[in-house]
Amino acid sequence: MRFDDSVYMYWEWQKLSLALNAMWSELDDAASQIAGRRTTAIASIFEPTVDLEKVNLLLGLTNSNTSLIEFPKIVRRPTKSESAVRFAGKMLGALFATLGALEETRSSGYGDLFSSLADKPRTNEELLLHLDAMCLATNPTLELQPPKSIVILRALGNAFEDSNKSRSNDDMPELSLGEFFVETELSANWAGLSDQVVLRRLLLISPEEADAPKKAIEKFFAE
């Protein structure tokens, strides 16, 4: 079994994913040893005949076979209103949280930030690595703050999702977020745009439909 996307919400996701993969590998090996065939720990404990004694046997065998797996001390990325931005606890949630924290710290404007990420196509994981490096360069302690407003991040999420839905309808492959920045750079020309203009251009791609976010957008434009 592999780690799930929730690891990306932590700054230490690379070390954490390695530790989790090692843990699951040891558990799967122990489950396979008990079963006498290749299986996984998750599959084995959900078999109808498995009781607490057999689970304890699995854990005991894992402990006896396993060298020490060191789990890192982890710190979660700063977030605000995750449910409103959506993709909470997922790779995209980690990307949006990091974009927000980076912009809150640098205050260079989302337009310049988006444009700087359109230099080349990146997978979502490559983009997260790149953003993490930018955060470390900005603040080596990674003590960053969440954004005061999430309206642009929400609009970005909606625009990204709706763009991929449209591509899917046209039998085109979905874009990563990094590829989305590259694709939209030609039409949006993000560099130098104010946050208000950035928001307007994202809303052109995907208009906001929910009432509460609409009010937040009106307030954002009025400021």
- Identify whether residues 19 and 96 lie together within a single domain: no
Task: For residues 7 and 171, give the distance between their C-alpha atoms in angstroms, rounded to a whole number.
Answer: 31
Let me know if residue 203 belongs to a domain: yes
- Identify whether residues 92 and 175 lie together within a single domain: yes
Q: Which residues pair with 10 in a beta bridge?
A: 76
**How many domains would you assign to the chain?**
2
- Identify whether residues 86 and 55 lie together within a single domain: no
- In the chain the first and final C-alpha atoms are separated, in Å, by 49
Q: What is the pLDDT of residue 1?
A: 57
86-95, pLDDT tens digit by residue? 787 789 999 9
- Identify whether residues 20 and 127 lie together within a single domain: no
Each residue of 119-153: b (16+ CB within 10 Å) or e? eeebebbebbebbbebbeeeeeeeebebbebbbbb
Let me know if residue 213 belongs to a domain: yes
Task: For residues 214 and 113, give the distance between their C-alpha atoms in angstroms, rounded to a whole number.
Answer: 24
- Identify whether residues 61 and 87 lie together within a single domain: no
Let me know if residue 10 belongs to a domain: yes
107-125, pLDDT tens digit by residue? 999 999 999 999 999 999 9
Let me know if residue 73 belongs to a domain: no
19-33, pLDDT tens digit by residue? 999 999 999 999 999
Let me know if residue 215 belongs to a domain: yes
- Identify whether residues 130 and 22 lie together within a single domain: no
- Identify whether residues 106 and 161 lie together within a single domain: yes
Statement: the pTM of the whole predicted model exceeds 0.85: yes
Let me know if residue 76 belongs to a domain: no
64-87, pLDDT tens digit by residue? 877 788 999 999 999 988 878 878
- Identify whether residues 211 and 108 lie together within a single domain: yes
- Identify whether residues 89 and 53 lie together within a single domain: no
- Exposure of 22 in the CB half-sphere (CA atoms within 13 A): 14
Domain extent for 137:
82-222
Residue 143 structure tokens: 């003590």
Q: Give residue 27's identity as a one-letter amino acid code.
A: L
- Identify whether residues 49 and 136 lie together within a single domain: no
Those residues whose C-beta lies under 8 Å from the C-beta of residue 23, and which sit 6 or more positions away, are 69
